[in-house]
């Protein structure tokens, strides 16, 4: 497992674990970052990521993306 921040741009990944406090986990799950779900990093700008989740694109800070293991 690696943090989402280290995943290659354009390569679909499967979420294995979502870490953080219960509030952070709930927030990420509400955005669509669920264990077993597919995500694709679209781009990285200044350490922050644009992630494709289902049919949406979501901007995540580096700190939040490091809590998602793929």
**14-20 own/partner pairs: CB under 8 Å, 24+ apart:** 14/38, 14/39, 14/70, 15/39, 15/68, 15/69, 15/70, 16/69, 16/70, 17/68, 17/69, 18/67, 18/68, 18/69, 19/67, 19/68, 19/69, 20/67
The rounded distance, in Å, linking the Cα atoms of 19 and 47 is 19
How do residues 9-34 score in pLDDT, each as one tens digit? 999 999 999 999 999 999 999 999 99
The reply to whether the predicted model has a pTM over 0.85 is yes
The domains located in the chain, with CATH, are: 4-64 (2.30.30.90)
Quote the pLDDT of residue 37. Answer: 95
């Amino acid at each position: 497992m690696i943090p989402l921040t280290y995943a290659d741009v354009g390569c679909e990944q499967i979420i294995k674990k979502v870490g953080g406090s219960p509030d952070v986990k709930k927030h990420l799950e509400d955005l669509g970052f669920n264990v077993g779900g597919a995500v694709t990093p679209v781009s990285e700008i200044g350490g922050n990521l644009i992630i494709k989740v289902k049919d949406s694109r979501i901007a995540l800070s580096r700190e939040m993306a490091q809590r998602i293991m793929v």
